[in-house]
Structure formats: C-alpha cells, structure tokens
Amino acid sequence: MSRSSVLSDVGGPAIELAEFRRCVRGWLAARYPLCDESRDDDRLDVIARAPDGHRAMIDQAVALQKDLHAAGFAALALPRKYGGAGLTSAHQYVVAEELSRVDAPSLRALGIGLGLAMPTIMGAGTEEQKRRFLPPLVSGHEIWCQLFSEPDAGSDLVSLRTRATHDGNAWIVNGQKVWSSLASDAAYGMLLARTDPEADRPHSGITMFILSMSSRGVSVRPLVDIAGGRHFNEVFLEDVVLHDSDVLGEINRGWHVATGTLSGERSGYLGGSGAGRRRRQAEQALAASSLRSDRVARQRVVDIIARERLLELLVGRIGAGAVAGGNGAAGSLVKVAAGNLEQLVAEVVIDLLGARGLAWDTRERDGNVAAHGLNASRQATIAGGTHQIQSNLIGERVLGLPREAR
Ligand SMILES: Cc1cc2nc3c(=O)[nH]c(=O)nc-3n(C[C@H](O)[C@H](O)[C@H](O)COP(=O)(O)OP(=O)(O)OC[C@H]3O[C@@H](n4cnc5c(N)ncnc54)[C@H](O)[C@@H]3O)c2cc1C
C-alpha cells in the first residue's frame, strides 16, 4: 500500500481532524482489539519477561511502525519529502490517542529515533542529512540511540570527556558512553564529543556527530536493569573515524544542538501526556481488583485521572508558549510531573492487584505486568535528567530563583 493511500481515500492533506480520527480508528480496529477487550496473554507475557522480551518488543514496534508508515500514519507533521505525512502535530496526537485505545504494541522502542533524532535532524541537519536519515527512521527501518551520558558525566553532562580529534583529514573519536538505550540495536547514534578542549567555556568545545553503530572501533556491551531488561548499554569508542559530513549542526556548537534534543526528550518522548494511557492502566487495574468498590481505591484512581488531565493541559500550555522559560526549560515541568505520575500509577496498580501484584510469576498476566511496571517505573525520575536537576532548572529558569552555586 502506498504511504498516502489510506489518507487519499478520505481527502488527502486537507482532511478534517474528526474524519482523520475515524480513518485511523477504522484502520486500527481492523488490526487490534480495544484495550479492554484484549486478554492476549502471550503478547503481554513477552513484554513482562523483560530479559528475553527486549528483542520481541523491538520487533513488534518496528513492524507496527512499518505498517503505520505504509498507511500514511507515521511522522504526521514531517514534510513528505523526508518520509512524513505533511500534516500537523494535532494529527500526530490523534494517532497517539487512538493507538493508546487499542491493544497494539508499544512504539517506545523507537522513541529515541522518532522523539529525539527526528526533531534534532530536522532542526540542525543539512538537507543531505535530512534526506538520507529521516525516511528510514520514520519508516522503522533504522533504529537510533543517544550517546550523551558518560561514566562521569550524567547530570553534569558538560564535563563529558569523549574526544574527537581532527587529524587534518578526519575526526578520530575515543571515549566511553554509558546508559545508552537501544545502542545494541541501533543503526545510528547522536554522539556528543569534545572537539575543543581549550575552549573558554566547556560548553563551547563540544560537537554532535551522527555515528554509524557499525563503524570500526565501536563496541557495545549490554547492561541489565533492575527489571531484568537489557535495553541500555555501555558503548566503547576506540579510534573511530568520522568526517565533517557526520557533524550534526556546527563544529563546537554541539551543546546548543543537544540542549534542543534534551528539551524535546523531557517534554515529548519521556514526559508527554501519555494520551490517556496511564488513566486506562489505573482504570483497568481497578476493574480487575477486589477493591473496585473501595472508596479509597477509587479515590486514588480518580487522582490519577485528574493528574493526567492536568498534565495534558500543561503540555498544551507549553506548546502554546504560555509558560515562562519557553519550551526548553518548561519541558522540565512536564518531565517532573510525568515522571512522578508514572511512578504513582505503577504503585497504585500494584496495590490494587493485592497479592497478585506481589508475585513475580510469569504465568500470571496482570501481576507480572504490574510487578515489571513497578520496577521499570524507577527510571522515570532518572532518565532524560534526574528530578533533582529538573527542579533546579525549574527554579532558575521558570520561577526565576537565584542560580545554584557552581
Ligand atoms: C532507563 C535509562 C535510560 C537512559 N538512556 C540514556 C540514553 O539513551 N542515552 C544517554 O546518553 N543517557 C541515558 N541515560 C542516562 C541518564 O541521562 C543519566 O542517568 C542521568 O542524566 C543522571 O546521570 P547519572 O546517572 O550520571 O547520575 P549523577 O549525575 O551521578 O547523579 C547522581 C545523583 O546526584 C544528584 N545530583 C547530581 N548533581 C546534582 C545537583 N547539582 N543538584 C542536586 N542533585 C544532584 C542526581 O539528581 C542523582 O540523584 C539513561 C538513564 C536511564 C535510567
């Protein structure tokens, strides 16, 4: 099916949102059951058994993204010449909402590519880079990773020590990255490296590169997380050769590019409103719980519904430029609210399931998913910048409080 075929059946790019929603809903209904109707134990069990489920999660996400792309429902706001649908972010939100209503695989495994690399390349890439990298990213054919954090440079990212030295002909990169999600599966990574160690300010001597993960000198070692997952990695770089054409943005201006990537990560990929996903999770756990008539249990679920709605409104206000600090620092507000909510939902779901939530038994679907979810939710206040650091940013840049002593 051509990428535009489903859309062109109902009126092409000028399509009204309501009509577009009907179109997406119909397409999804032919493929996936509604969340509430689904009891597909096999699929959920795969997600819950993280160690060997990692591969399956990626495969399922890639298959869904390819299907969405073929139907014209991928990268809705991206221009067509780069593989998108040439519509608007409102259309993108409709797809996210409709996806969250059905029991479709999660696209989270592609989040770094779609949520971070895509906007970064659109904002800082050359025309050649956009045409080369965006179409296979959008169609699910190439996975991306983010090579920012290092063993001694996480919150204090600006102290990163990976070096890229120009030998007159090419850049030679040496160093180590850590916590690099999906690096073992990625075709490309956004790499931050120090290119001018003598710069006046440490921020000024950093460059962002596009790194092919199959380059000679790149080795990837998986790390096992608290939930048993193997999605993040250590990445070792030894005399890796890069060229000027691999620079994303300008040489020594990588900090500026990375700031945009990180603010997108905080407000979008990690911190987005979730399109009703968390509310549905809590409602489903309540429906399955022996506590479903309990007033306190119901109150906790209502609290989640209210918080998710507030988060949606916050995302909307930031999008409309109505929050001080612009989209950059205001993204930290979303990150903190969404991270806290993620952990609250995981805790409420476990409590609602009672003894079933305590058992880590792969044969027991709800308890297994909930137990894995509780462990996995710990990352919500660390990944993409810890909540302590986000609170500092909110204090300094949104509330205008005095800066932290440095
Ligand atoms: C699931 C997951 C996925 C990730 N994926 C990626 C990825 O794909 N790519 C990537 O580059 N990185 C990734 N990261 C790394 C993440 O960005 C870092 O873990 C995060 O920025 C914190 O850095 P750190 O772990 O070095 O902790 P540190 O910076 O060492 O912080 C340790 C503690 O000290 C606190 N702290 C530090 N400085 C201050 C301060 N000034 N004021 C108050 N408190 C402070 C922190 O809040 C934290 O509690 C991932 C992390 C997780 C958990």
* Residues 324 and 393 both lie in one domain: yes
Residue-wise pLDDT for 279-327, tens only, equals 888 888 898 889 999 999 999 999 999 999 898 888 777 767 766 666 5
* Residues 185 and 243 both lie in one domain: yes
- Atom 12, ligand 1: residue with shortest CA distance: 149
What distance in angstroms lies between residue 193's CA and the mean position of ligand 1's atoms? Answer: 18
Residue 384 CA: nearest ligand 1 atom is 17
* Residues 371 and 320 both lie in one domain: yes
Q: Which amino acid is at 88?
A: T
Q: How far apart are CA 22 and CA 48, in angstroms?
A: 32
Q: How confident is the model at residue 387 (pLDDT cuts 50, 70, 90)?
A: very high
Catalytic residue among 98, 142, 150, 265: 265
Average pLDDT, the chain: 85
* Residues 74 and 44 both lie in one domain: yes
The last residue of one of the domains, among 210, 229, 254, is 254
Q: How confident is the model at residue 348 (pLDDT cuts 50, 70, 90)?
A: very high
Please check whether residue 138 lies inside any domain of the structure. Answer: no
* Residues 335 and 306 both lie in one domain: yes
* Residues 359 and 392 both lie in one domain: yes
Q: How far apart are CA 98 and CA 333, in angstroms?
A: 25
Please check whether residue 120 lies inside any domain of the structure. Answer: no
Expressed as residue numbers, the domain containing 372 is 270-398
* Residues 376 and 278 both lie in one domain: yes
Residue 331 has a pLDDT of 82
* Residue 265 falls in the annotated catalytic set: yes
Q: How many domains does the chain have?
A: 3
Residue 277 has a pLDDT of 74
What is the domain-level CATH number for residue 204?
2.40.110.10
Q: How confident is the model at residue 48 (pLDDT cuts 50, 70, 90)?
A: very low
For residues 26-42, give the mean pLDDT.
Answer: 69
Q: pTM for this one?
A: 0.89
Residue-wise pLDDT for 194-251, tens only, equals 999 999 998 999 999 999 999 999 999 999 887 677 888 999 999 999 999 999 999 9
The last residue of one of the domains, among 209, 225, 254, is 254
* Residues 282 and 345 both lie in one domain: yes
Residue 108 has a pLDDT of 82
Q: At what angle do helices 277-287 and 89-101 cross, to 10 degrees?
A: 10
Residue 183 CA: nearest ligand 1 atom is 8
| Residue 142 pLDDT exceeds 50 | yes
Residue 392 CA: nearest ligand 1 atom is 42
Residue 43 has a pLDDT of 36
Q: Exposed, middle or buried: residue 52 (CB in 10 Å: 0-12, 13-18, 19+)?
A: exposed
* Residues 50 and 87 both lie in one domain: yes
Helices (H), 265-325: 277-287, 295-319
Residue 161 C-beta-side C-alpha neighbours within 13 Å: 8
Q: How confident is the model at residue 372 (pLDDT cuts 50, 70, 90)?
A: confident
Binding pocket residue ranges, ligand 1, CB within 6 Å: 145-146, 148-149, 154-155, 179-181, 232, 379, 382-386, 388-389, 392
In 122-187, which ranges are E strands?
A: 144-147, 163-166, 171-177
